[in-house]
Structure 1
Amino acid sequence: MHTVPLTLLTIIGEGLLRERLITEIERAGAKGYTITECSGSGSRHRRVGELLGENMKLECVVSPEVADKLLGILSDEYFPHFAVIAYLSPVSVIRGDKYV
């Protein structure tokens, strides 16, 4: 079976960033995404209180160029101000033409 090498970008952050992050990934060229609510603990410790909202995990399969562009945006505009983490994973995708 023929697969296409692409990049899975995973962003975990404050739920209040949901719409802003969706706009960022669409502008950068992502063709789609998956969002799930999540919880946990990290360097900024566990989030408490319902007023702060839930965390979310946003995942999108993109070209390496789009992934790099988005990491630059996250690094410049989000990491200094919000509880956000992002990481990349190489993936092999069937029907990869749908993602680029």
Structure 2
Amino acid sequence: MDIHARKLLTVVTEAAIEGVLVRDVERLGAHGYTVTDARGKGHRGVRGAGWEASANIRLEVVCDEATARSIAAHLRDHYYANYAMILFVADVDVLRPEKF
């Protein structure tokens, strides 16, 4: 079995900016993404999913390292100052590299 190294870029942020984030990650080279609802607590307090204005999402992208770096830098530069957002990158192995 051949495995191939990729990066998993995970963004947890406010649901209100999902549409613009999706457009950004696609424009910056992501071949796809997954969005799920998220809840939790951080330095900005508890963020539940009880009403849309306080809902969070988890956006995940599997991609090559250059794409992960490009997306991460863009999100940091354009969203960190004004939105509750965390971002992390992990190494992952995939079986079908052409999808990522």
TM-score (norm 2): 0.93
Question: How many angstroms apart in 1 are the aligned matches of 2:52 and 2:64?
Answer: 36
1:47 corresponding residue in structure 2: 47
Unaligned runs of 5+ in 1: none
Whichever structure has more strand as a proportion of its residues is: 2
Question: How many angstroms apart in 1 are the aligned matches of 2:28 and 2:47?
Answer: 29
Question: How many angstroms apart in 2 are the aligned matches of 1:83 and 1:3?
Answer: 35
Over 3 Å counting, the alpha-carbon distance change for 1:9 and 1:50 in structure 2 is same
1:4 corresponding residue in structure 2: 4
Question: How many angstroms apart in 1 are the aligned matches of 2:17 and 2:52?
Answer: 14
1:85 corresponding residue in structure 2: 86
* CA drift at 1:52: 1.4
Matched, 1:34 2:21: no
Secondary structure, counterpart of 2:41 in structure 1: coil
Count of residues in Structure 1 that have an aligned counterpart in Structure 2: 99
Write out the 4+ residue segments of structure 1 that deviate beyond 6 Å after TM superposition.
none
* CA drift at 1:47: 2.9
Secondary structure, counterpart of 2:10 in structure 1: strand
Question: How many angstroms apart in 1 are the aligned matches of 2:5 and 2:25?
Answer: 19
Question: How many angstroms apart in 1 are the aligned matches of 2:52 and 2:65?
Answer: 36
Alignment of 1:60-75 (within 5 A): 60-75=61-76
Question: How many angstroms apart in 1 are the aligned matches of 2:5 and 2:85?
Answer: 26
Instruction: Provide the aligned C-alpha RMSD in A.
Output: 1.3
TM-score (norm 1): 0.93
Question: How many angstroms apart in 1 are the aligned matches of 2:52 and 2:36?
Answer: 19
